Amino acid sequence: MADGQSVKYAVDLVMCIDGTGSMGHLIEEVKSAALKFYERLEARITEKGRKIDRLRARVIVFRDYWADPADQVMQCSEFFDLRSQSPDFANFVSQIQAEGGGDEPENGLEAVGLALKSNWEKGDFSKQRYVIVVYTDASAHSLDKPPKPKPSHYPNDIPKTFDDLTDYWHEIPKSAKRLLLFAPDAEPWTMMSSWENTIHYVSEAAKGLEELEMGEILDAIANSV
């Protein structure tokens, strides 16, 4: 680098956002939190006397494969470098609408599976941090026992069982990973909360993303750097 100092920290953030109709009370708060995440995280890191050299983010908006068309059920962005591509990130987030989904459960586990298969940063950095944040007000379909035969637009690269999904998580180095769940006190989120380096913030119907919880999410990431 020009200043002669090597890059130290790279943080990759994947936000899995429930985009179904029941999220109408929460979606604008989640979008606002996503859009402010970069500057708030940078501020929190600076408060702790640390520095992130690269911060990337991608978004996965999930709904229900058994209720929604192929172009709406799982909308995935690429990673955006939040220093140089923040307008592109903001444009993607601003277009998220709460719609579809039918009755719960939804396909939150599939979203986590896709998040775990992200093209994580593996460049010339001393340390990498891989952070997944899930925002949902619903339970999730089982990977092991889907409610009906899988539709033709169901992806082939999703883990076939919850155990497979758990193995994906365990394969990521413990020091690098963080999973933050803003999800109800329901399966499979209660099971997932036992995964290492996972924090579960229990969401409740008709209640939004509290500022205290947002601060705790930021601290959980900042304290890992």
* DSSP β-bridge partners for residue 132: 14, 179
Confidence (pLDDT) at 1: 38
Give me the domains of the chain, ranges plus CATH numbers: 9-222 (3.40.50.410)
Which letter does DSSP use for residue 46 in this model?
H
Is the whole model's pTM more than 0.75, yes or no?
yes
Confidence (pLDDT) at 5: 47
Confidence (pLDDT) at 58: 95
- Count CB neighbours of 165 within 10 A: 22
For tokens 């050299």, name the residue: 53
Confidence (pLDDT) at 34: 80
**CA triple 147-93-37, angle to 5 deg:** 110
Confidence (pLDDT) at 28: 84
Whether 17 contacts 61, CB under 8 Å? yes
Chunked into runs of 10 residues, the chain (225 residues) has average pLDDT values of 55 93 84 81 82 90 95 96 90 91 91 96 83 92 90 92 97 92 93 94 65 69 73
**CA triple 174-116-25, angle to 5 deg:** 110
